[in-house]
Amino acid sequence: MRKIGFYQGCCFQGPDAHMFDTLKKVFSDLGVDLKLLEKTTCCGGNTIDEANRYLVYSINARNIALAENEGLDLLVTCNTCYMVLAKTKHALDNNPQLREEINERLAEEGLEYKGTAKIWHILPYLLEEVGIEKIKEKVKKPLNGWKIATYYGCHIKYPKEVAVVDSEDPKGLEELISALGGEPIKDYEGKDVCCGYHAYYTNKEVALKKVVKAPQGAKKAGAEVLVTPCPLCFKAQDIYQDMAQAEEQKVPSIYLPEILAYALGYGPEEAGLTYHIIPINKISVNVSSTG
C-alpha cells in the first residue's frame, strides 16, 4: 500500500471533520494510506498573501516540511490550499535566498524545507497515481442514470506555473465521473464563472450573483447534480446557492470525494451526502451501504 501525507487544512475540521474518516477509508480501498499531518496550520488562503507574502511562504514551507520530515509527498483536497502550497513550493524551489531565509526560521522548530515533497491535488492524484482502472474495479454502486455537470473551480486552473488542469480546456473530472458510471456534462453556460466563495466575505451581493451561474447553466444542459473537486466551491454552491435561488432552480452540488465514496459502496451518510443543505434526490435510488 502506498502512503502519502494528508494536509487537512481548515476544510476537514469542525462540522466537516467526518470527511477525513471517509477519505481515509476510501483511499484505503484504493490502496493508499493517508497519513494525517497533525501539526500543520491553515494555509492562509489569499487573505494573508495580500498583506504579507513572506509570511505565507513561511507558513506553507513549514506545512510542506512536516511531510518531508516523514519522507512523504503531500495530498491536498482543496483547490485554494493546493494553489497556496504549490505557489510556495514554486517560489522556494526557484529562489535559493528566500529558501535559506525561511529555513533559518524553520530551524527554530527543527524543521527544514528540502523541496523533496511533491504537492498533489486530489484530482491528478486519483488519475495518475491511483488510476482509472483501479477505481473502476472498486465501484460497487455505479452512478447509472446520473447526469453530472463537472465544475473545476478557479484555483487549479491558475496561476499557470502551478495549475493542474488547462485553464482553457480542463480535463479529468469527466473521466472520473465516467469511471463511476455517471454521464458527465462538461460544456454548459457558467462553467468557468467563479463560485464566489471568497468574495462573499467582502461583497455578499456579488458573491450571490456569481454562485448561481454554474448551477443555472448546468440545469439548462440537463444536469441533475454538479460535482467539484474543491470543498470551498462545494460549500458555496450548497450554502450560497440555497440563499440565492428559488427552490425549483437549485442544483445539488457534490464534493468529489463524497461521490467517489458513494459509488465505492458507502451509504449516503457515511459518504457525507446527507449533510448537504440542498438535498440530493438521486441518492434515494440504490442507497444500500457496504462501506
Query: Does 75 lie in the same domain as 33?
Result: yes
Model confidence at 161, in pLDDT bands (50, 70, 90)? very high
Of 11, 275, 264, 277, nearest to 140 (Cα)? 264
Q: What integer pLDDT is reported at residue 20 of this predicted model?
A: 87
Evaluate whether residue 291 is within a structural domain: no
Quickly list DSSP for 179-198.
HTT-EEE---TTTTS---TG
Query: Does 137 lie in the same domain as 280?
Result: yes
- Residue 109 CA to residue 163 CA, distance in Å, equals 31
- Residue 180 CA to residue 139 CA, distance in Å, equals 6
CATH number for 194? 3.40.50.11810
On the question of pLDDT at 88 being above 80, the answer is yes
Model confidence at 289, in pLDDT bands (50, 70, 90)? very low
Note the pLDDT tens digit of each residue in 197-216.
Answer: 989 988 999 999 999 999 99
Chain mean pLDDT for the chain? 93
Q: Which whole-number Å values give the CA distances from 77 to 74, 80, 83, 199, 282, in the listed order? A: 10, 9, 11, 21, 24
Final residue of a structural domain among 93, 122, 151: 122
User: Helix 79-93 and helix 53-68: axis angle, to 10°?
Assistant: 90
Q: Which whole-number Å values give the CA distances from 165 to 120, 123, 229, in the listed order? A: 12, 9, 12
Query: Does 224 lie in the same domain as 180?
Result: yes
* Of the candidate ranges 48-62, 125-139, 255-269, the one whose mean pLDDT is the lowest: 48-62
Evaluate whether residue 290 is within a structural domain: no
Evaluate whether residue 242 is within a structural domain: yes
Burial class, 118, CB count within 10 angstroms (exposed 0-12 / middle 13-18 / buried 19+): middle
Note the pLDDT tens digit of each residue in 216-251.
Answer: 999 999 999 999 999 999 999 999 999 999 999 999
User: Helix 256-263 and helix 18-29: axis angle, to 10°?
Assistant: 50
Query: Does 172 lie in the same domain as 217?
Result: yes
CA dihedral over 165, 92, 53, 75, signed as positive or negative: positive
Evaluate whether residue 166 is within a structural domain: yes
Looking at this protein, which amino acid is placed at residue 78? C
Of 177, 269, 192, nearest to 233 (Cα)? 192
Final residue of a structural domain among 122, 142, 159: 122
Domain count, the chain: 2
Query: Does 173 lie in the same domain as 30?
Result: no
Query: Does 138 lie in the same domain as 279?
Result: yes
Query: Does 270 lie in the same domain as 149?
Result: yes
Looking at this protein, which amino acid is placed at residue 97? Q
Q: What integer pLDDT is reported at residue 47 of this predicted model?
A: 79
Evaluate whether residue 289 is within a structural domain: no
Query: Does 180 lie in the same domain as 146?
Result: yes
Burial class, 168, CB count within 10 angstroms (exposed 0-12 / middle 13-18 / buried 19+): exposed
Evaluate whether residue 149 is within a structural domain: yes
Query: Does 152 lie in the same domain as 50?
Result: no
Query: Does 230 lie in the same domain as 249?
Result: yes
Residue 106, all three cell numbers: 524553520
Our CA dihedral for 258, 264, 269, 271, rounded to 10 degrees, sits at -20
Evaluate whether residue 127 is within a structural domain: no
Radius of gyration over alpha carbons of the chain, in Å?
Answer: 19
Model-level pTM? 0.94
Residue 191, all three cell numbers: 462553467
Residue, of 45 and 120, whose pLDDT is higher? 120
**Domain span at residue 54?**
2-122
CATH number for 113? 1.20.1050.140
Q: What integer pLDDT is reported at residue 251 of this predicted model?
A: 97
Query: Does 137 lie in the same domain as 118?
Result: no
- Residue 174 CA to residue 165 CA, distance in Å, equals 12
Final residue of a structural domain among 122, 154, 169: 122
- Residue 61 CA to residue 71 CA, distance in Å, equals 15
Percent of the chain with pLDDT over 90: 87
Q: Which whole-number Å values give the CA distances from 156 to 106, 165, 176, in the listed order? A: 28, 6, 16
Evaluate whether residue 60 is within a structural domain: yes
CA dihedral over 265, 267, 270, 275, signed as positive or negative: positive
Query: Does 150 lie in the same domain as 112?
Result: no
